[in-house]
Amino acid sequence: MKKSDKLAKKRATRLTNEVELQLKRGLIHVELMDSPEAVQAFLEA
């Protein structure tokens, strides 16, 4: 594995951990959508 690949993996892992922590703390709110139509309706509202 190249050094750049290792660095990219390390960076991705750090970002993932950071996002998980923010989700646990309630700093990020995520809503799951059913369909592309629901997403489009939300964007147009």
Tell me the per-residue pLDDT of 1-45, one tens digit each, with 9 for 90 and over.
799 999 999 999 999 999 999 988 989 888 777 788 888 888 898
- pTM reported for the whole predicted model: 0.54
Residue 28 is predicted with a pLDDT of: 86
Nearest alpha carbon to residue 35 among 25, 43, 23, 27: 43
Contact present, 19 and 28 (Cβ < 8 Å): yes
Give me the numbers of helices (H) and strands (E) for the chain, helices first please: 2, 0
Whether residue 4 contacts residue 10, with contact meaning beta carbons closer than 8 Å, is answered with no
**What does each C-alpha distance from 7 to 16, 17, 35 come to in angstroms?**
14, 15, 36
